[in-house]
Chains A and B, each alone.
Chain A
Amino acid sequence: MSAIIENNQLPFSTKFLQFYKDRTLLAILLSLFAVMFIYGIFFTENYLTITNFKAIIRDAALYGIMAIGLTFVTLSGNFFLLSLKETASICGVTFAMGMATGFGSPDLAGNFLVSLLAALAVGVVSGVIQGYFVGMGGNPIVVTLGGAGILYGIGAWWSDNLVINFTRPHDAEWLGTGSFLGLPSITWSFILIAIAAEIVLRHTNFGRKVYLVGANKAAGKATGHENFSMAIIVFTICSVCCAFVAVAFVAQMDSAQSNYFSAEFGSSGDMTILVIATVMVGGNSIMGGYGSTLRTSLGAIFIAMVDNMMVLQGFNSGPRIVGVGLMIVFSIIVFGLFAKGSRAQE
């Protein structure tokens, strides 16, 4: 009772500060957004065009979808996967194999549905196996580091480290290069997946369990929500997201290779680190239990925006990687300082 009265008697400025402090990272992110936007309008040519914004969201979509999958893992307190790009590459190889050769049977060659299902199945299998080891008590970083090497090795072995091509009129064009209502399909998928993930996390039993297990493993175990099944489910979700991105990317390029997602993908060096960066810049707690996929999507758009501006200003890849790296370190330090002593941290 006294707490309520005290809260009512607080002056407005304190209340505002309290509100701001509760949502510090979101506020900082939004103000940075605004600063970048205004800077972009005044100092960058060709910035304020519809085409450019479409390009930004399109860039953000590719690693945004993967980052939304990764958010589930992070929220459930399993840190992150270091095998994101390897999962994506082996799924891409599977899809291209299906489109090009039909896995050995000529009838199935070019069959979109079979290839898609095969790619998703590979994603599910790799996610379940890694999740199993993590659920058994392995450290997620080390397990997925090993998993990354194995997935890459198998993918390269299967494709003989060659580029797998398939010719242009194929069934997957609508996903790769098609567009609907003026936006590319991949952007629509990003929007739909973001909304679906937010609904799952906020309004379903499973989503609340993810937060519970992430926030307090011991309490989760005591109430019957073990990390074992949780780890398998979240790792599978993340791997399936990777598989989807791989399918979309391969459908766009009409070809796949085992190191498509490795060095110098897009802009900032390494797909895996870029996706992890997205989750962190969005302001999700890496210890789990705090954050949302909305933040992740905002983080993806923010990174894409900064990157886009640096490209328009004519920077090379070095300064761009430094820029993304600085963003990660900044958001980690800010988050760490503000979350110090609160529940969100350990």
Chain B
Amino acid sequence: MKNRSLVSISDYSKEEILKILELAGEFEKQPHADLLKGKVIASLFFEPSTRTRLSFESAVQKLGGSIVGFSDSSSSSTTKGESLNDTIRTVSNYADLIVMRHPIEGSARFASEISGVPVVNAGDGANQHPTQTLLDLYSIKKTQGKLEDLNIFLVGDLKYGRTVHSLLEAMSMFNPTFNFISHEKLQMPKEYKLFLDKKGIKYYEHEQFTDIISRADIMYMTRVQRERFSDPIEYEKTKNTYVLRNEMLKNTKENLKILHPLPRVNEIHQSVDSNPKAYYFEQALNGVYTRQAIIAAILGLK
């Protein structure tokens, strides 16, 4: 992993993924406050993403590193018409590693090819967001004690949600069973179902929340976005169909944990927050440990 960019979750082998998760566990136990001393991390957010940016910046600062960068493109030279090519070539002179969020798909791969220092993709449009996937895996492993043989429920926008696609790919290394719950218009795309068929992984599709959720080890909720619907009435109906409420969790497994990449709108009712099966806020904290692990591994410090 040393000196290698992280653009897509498929850039890492199963062993490398497990190594990152192990390191994240180490950072959770021990802060390592001086590990990044003297290192400069560039945090280039060409579009705002407060949660992801703060998580990365917190990870860097906890390791004693410093940060340069910008939090949206209006405060960068992009507004003067500078190309991504020029921004990356310039900034890679100033930093030991670049964390980049960009609205254009494929921008992170391109940046990693022209940058003199490794690039960590913090989201490139609807394409990839590998650090989210790694923190999801860390959260699953931490709460279930393992990654193998779990029953994973993916709920909400399965068509456009990039987090569920990457999670599906990554979890497929660990012999899971998948259950998909979504509106027919937001079903898991065919290419991913073909991918599962090829690997011989079982999956079941549902349009409603039913007793089936009593089988879940992990329930991964996602937000249904208004812009996915041309008809606002259709959106309102759909939005309210896939709401998880506390009483629905009555007959679920003891070890069930509910995950969500956040931000949520209304797909998880607030009454769930106090249920010990709710895990989405801890999941966000795990993001800091996971990003510490990713940065340390790429810089060859661990």
Do A and B assemble together? no
Which residues of B are at the interface with A, using a C-beta cutoff of 8 A? none
